[in-house]
Chain A
């Protein structure tokens, strides 16, 4: 069966520090991968998606970047965190060309102080 992992689960970082969140998927190959952010009490906003290694599409201009160095690994990064980067970050995967569901990871709670 497929599983999706995210780490760390929680993170507290000072403003101006770098960020690296990691997401890995097991049990499938060549998945679509997604990064979402959920601000407090709000819905999910798609940040990035990837259809393959090295292929990243950005949905919103921001202080963050994403990379996909391996087929089942998706990384969310920042060189210098802002207070507004605080939130709950969710990684998800899906089968290509499928209109069915996306499968979400457990998420990372990021607090920028």
Chain B
């Protein structure tokens, strides 16, 4: 079974700093997808960024980028120029692929990120 581990329960940085959140996963699959979701205090789950395992290029979305190391099974999220609105729980998630057309996501335990003014 796939597992996802986020080793940093909490992190705190100053506004405008850069912060990196760690995620490792365990799988025997070769083709899969990785996600970072954000859960602000409103508890609404929001997709931050997505990475396909077959792509060597790291995904980027504005201030958010990932460092995907397939051999090491590592998938870290870098937030540049952090903003107060980035304060949230961040979850790393793994998806093997579709089963009967459905996607089964396996989530890590989350990292609580606080951006201080």
Contacts and interface: CB of A to CB of B under 8 A. Distances in A.
B52 A43 contact: no
B44 A104 contact: yes
Contacts of A42: 109-110
A34 to B, nearest CB: 8
A43 B89 CA distance: 10
B107 A99 contact: no
Contacts, number: 61
Contacts of A98: 98, 103
Contacts of A32: 101-103
Interface of B: 4, 33, 35, 42-45, 47, 50, 52, 91, 95, 97-98, 100-110
Interface of A: 32, 34, 41-46, 49-51, 57, 59, 88, 90, 92, 94, 96-102, 104, 106-107
